[in-house]
Amino acid sequence: MSAVELRSLPEHVDSARPPKPSLFRTLRFRLMLSVALVHAVLMGTFVWSEVGKQSQAIRADLYSRAHSLITLMAVASTNALLAEDLGSLAEVTQRVKRQPDVMEGAIIDVRGDVLASTDARQVGHRLRLPDAALARQGHGRLRLEEQIRVAGQRVGTVLLEMSTRHLQSELAATRDEGLLFILLALVVGSVAAWVLSLFITRNLHILMEAARRIGSGDLGVRVALPARDEVGLLGGAFNAMAESLQRISAQVQNEHEKRTDAERLACVGELSASIAHEIRNPLSAVINSVKLLDRSNLPAGDRAQAIAILNTESLRLQRILNDFLDFARIRESRLQEGDICGLVEEVAGLIRQHPQAAAVKVEVECDAHHSRARHDPDQLRQVVWNLMLNAIQAIPDRGELRVRVERAAGTVRVSITDNGSGIPDHLLDKIMRPFVTGRKQGTGLGLSIAQRILMQHGTVLSIVSHVNVGTEVSFDLEAT
């Protein structure tokens, strides 16, 4: 029979399980320990007081038997003592001997001579006796002495010794029984507490498992606990919470999708506006030049100038379109392990041959043994090219471009430093956006392309720049 179950729990959900607490810290153990202890203490107190009462009753029974017996002895031997009838006195002691627990019984005259005794060897011996009736206990025996008086005169003494061994064993048995009862109470209490705790914690475990699954993202989880006790009510509250969590999550998801759609549209709009803006000027120049060339009476000098404008502006249009295609067509990175030094040296070699690098000293600092990292070689070549090109374009006259590849904790850092014009503050914040450029001939796509490629490598560009001092652009790759 199972009144408790988990519904709609997909088996594939795999989230970190909470560490199991040690047995002594579990609610189950603590509950069991406290119930068992309370049970044992209460039962123990009760049983112990019962054992005490029973022991007292056993002891009182022996004392009362002993007193009755010694009184009987005294009464039965008074006449025989007065008549000095040793035979009757011996008969009295023999009858006493047959009673249970009697160890010794003796009748003594006023001088202390033993007239009759259960132990025949004692007869005729003289004993020293106290003046009054006494009862003493010790060494497994209870000793009673009673004086026999006639008309106020002491005529003799009776002496009785009873064994307390039987009493002791009865007391021990009662005590053992009591201890057994306490032990039994402890065991029964523990078992009862265990069953109780099992019942309570089983439901708590179901709740815990459901909470864990919610934590791992499965918001469809619900628990079905019978709503009869507090844990059942907790289950109901849990379900209500999961319900509203699921509803809120769906709303958030919905909002998020709407926002991303809006952002995507805004981005497309922005990009289209930027492209239109970028190509409008060169296109107007091309159109005006074509109109000029169309005139039949155009002087040869103007014709040459119009052709030159056509040439530069169509090249500019081509560059804008090529850069934009590079930006739009960035494919998924195919990361592989490889040497960054070799790649940087290769790009540096190409940059040195670039017309704008004629007066620039290009240097590479690299430790080839510590420069292996995960990267897409073709894409990384483009990143390094774009960054080096920006650097040499920022050096107006003579200058220096330094590329450093160094190994840090778990990464290979590539930094490109120049002592060129630097980037003004107003440009620095938006420099990564497409079509943001600070140069007349620029398209503003070089850094955006580099940034997008690096993001696919799990890293980003960082730029430190000071106007008229220089710029350092760097990024980290995962070392291998």
Ligand X SMILES: Nc1ncnc2c1ncn2[C@@H]1O[C@H](COP(=O)(O)OP(=O)(O)O)[C@@H](O)[C@H]1O
Chain residues that interact with ligand X, rule: CB under 6 A: 386, 390-391, 394, 418, 420-423, 427, 431, 437-439, 442-448, 471
Query: Rounded distance, CA 376 to CA 318, Å?
Result: 27
| Closer residue to ligand X, CB minimum distance, 238 or 324 | 324
In this chain, which stretch among 43-51, 64-72, 220-228, 442-450 interacts with Mg ion, using CB under 5 A? 442-450
* Minimum distance of ligand X from residue 321's CB (angstroms): 13
Place of tokens 């195919």: 334
| Closer residue to Mg ion, CB minimum distance, 420 or 446 | 446
In this chain, which stretch among 189-197, 217-225, 307-315, 438-446 interacts with Mg ion, using CB under 5 A? 438-446
* Minimum distance of ligand X from residue 426's CB (angstroms): 11
* Minimum distance of ligand X from residue 390's CB (angstroms): 3
List the single partner that 434 binds among ligand X, Mg ion, none, CB under 5 to 8 Å by kind.
Answer: none
* Minimum distance of Mg ion from residue 19's CB (angstroms): 53
List the single partner that 420 binds among ligand X, Mg ion, none, CB under 5 to 8 Å by kind.
Answer: ligand X
User: How many of the chain's residues bind Mg ion (CB under 5 A)?
Assistant: 2
* Minimum distance of Mg ion from residue 377's CB (angstroms): 21
* Minimum distance of ligand X from residue 386's CB (angstroms): 6
Using Cβ positions, the residue closest to Mg ion within the complex turns out to be 446
| Closer residue to ligand X, CB minimum distance, 147 or 448 | 448
Q: Which of residues 383-422 bind Mg ion (CB under 5 A)?
A: 390
* Minimum distance of ligand X from residue 430's CB (angstroms): 10
| Closer residue to ligand X, CB minimum distance, 274 or 448 | 448
Residue 198 Cα distances to 201, 273, 480, angstroms:
5, 69, 52
List the single partner that 394 binds among Mg ion, ligand X, none, CB under 5 to 8 Å by kind.
Answer: ligand X
| Closer residue to ligand X, CB minimum distance, 175 or 319 | 319
* Minimum distance of ligand X from residue 281's CB (angstroms): 15
| Closer residue to ligand X, CB minimum distance, 141 or 433 | 433
Binding mask 443-462 for Mg ion (x = CB under 5 A): ---x----------------
Q: Which of residues 4-43 bind Mg ion (CB under 5 A)?
A: none
| Closer residue to ligand X, CB minimum distance, 240 or 467 | 467
In this chain, which stretch among 166-174, 308-316, 382-390, 407-415 interacts with Mg ion, using CB under 5 A? 382-390
Place of tokens 């003594």: 108
Q: Which two tokens stand for residue 416?
A: 């490109």
The answer to whether 293 touches 306, Cβ cutoff 8 Å, is yes
| Closer residue to Mg ion, CB minimum distance, 362 or 412 | 362
List the single partner that 451 binds among Mg ion, ligand X, none, CB under 5 to 8 Å by kind.
Answer: none
| Closer residue to ligand X, CB minimum distance, 377 or 438 | 438
* Minimum distance of ligand X from residue 215's CB (angstroms): 43
Which residues sit at the interface with Mg ion, rule CB under 5 A?
390, 446
